[in-house]
């Protein structure tokens, strides 16, 4: 291997590993899926109309995503009652697996089968939690599972 090949490879690795997560939410559209609607899935962008919003990124094969399911549903209910918008994105799997997983949620979800949104946010693992402002500025960007809604809301600074 030539020296310049090695330099280019090291530079690309450095960009990938040291660039860190995004500081603003991507403005990309994703498939919006509502299992309770008779309309076909449409493409939509995420929006945040309150002082802050929560986006949760999950994958069907992830055991931490599955074990956090009840905490997620409880947190969404609590945040919704307080006017804080929560969005769930399902990704990192086949479209079929995502649709099957979407059936586990009583509300609409976004689908990211090619994980483009996941990559744009600079995520490294799932489940992933992003608290952000209406201008798209990321306030908190974390990975990990939660066993209760209270611990989730406390850790993400979303408790009352």
Place of tokens 């905490």: 71
Domain range annotation of the chain: 22-155
pLDDT in tens, 79-113: 999 999 999 999 999 999 999 999 999 999 999 99
Residue 156 is given by DSSP the state T
Q: Quick one: tokens of 154?
A: 């406390």
- C-alpha angle with apex 21: 138 to 100, nearest 5 degrees? 85
CATH of domain 22-155: 3.40.30.10
Over residues 18-71, the pLDDT tens digits come to 445 678 888 888 999 998 887 777 888 888 887 889 999 999 999 999 999 999
Q: Which residue has the higher pLDDT, 123 or 72?
A: 72
Instruction: Give the pLDDT confidence score for residue 13 in this predicted structure.
Output: 42
Cα 107 to Cα 29: distance, rounded to the nearest angstrom: 18
């Amino acid at each position: 291997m030539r020296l310049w090949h090695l330099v280019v490879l090291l530079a690309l690795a450095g960009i990938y590993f040291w660039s860190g997560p995004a500081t603003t939410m991507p403005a990309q559209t994703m498939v919006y899926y509502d299992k309770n609607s008779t309309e076909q899935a449409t493409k939509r962008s995420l929006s945040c109309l309150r002082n802050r919003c929560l986006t949760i990124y999950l994958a069907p094969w992830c055991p931490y995503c599955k074990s956090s399911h009840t905490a997620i549903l409880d947190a969404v209910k609590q945040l919704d009652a307080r006017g804080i918008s929560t969005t769930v994105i399902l990704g990192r799997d086949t479209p079929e697996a995502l649709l099957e997983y979407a059936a586990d949620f009583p509300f609409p979800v976004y689908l990211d089968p090619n994980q483009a949104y996941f990559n744009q946010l600079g995520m490294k693992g799932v489940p992933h939690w992003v608290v952000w402002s209406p201008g798209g500025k990321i306030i908190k960007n974390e990975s990990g599972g939660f066993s209760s809604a209270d611990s989730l809301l406390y850790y993400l600074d979303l408790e009352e």
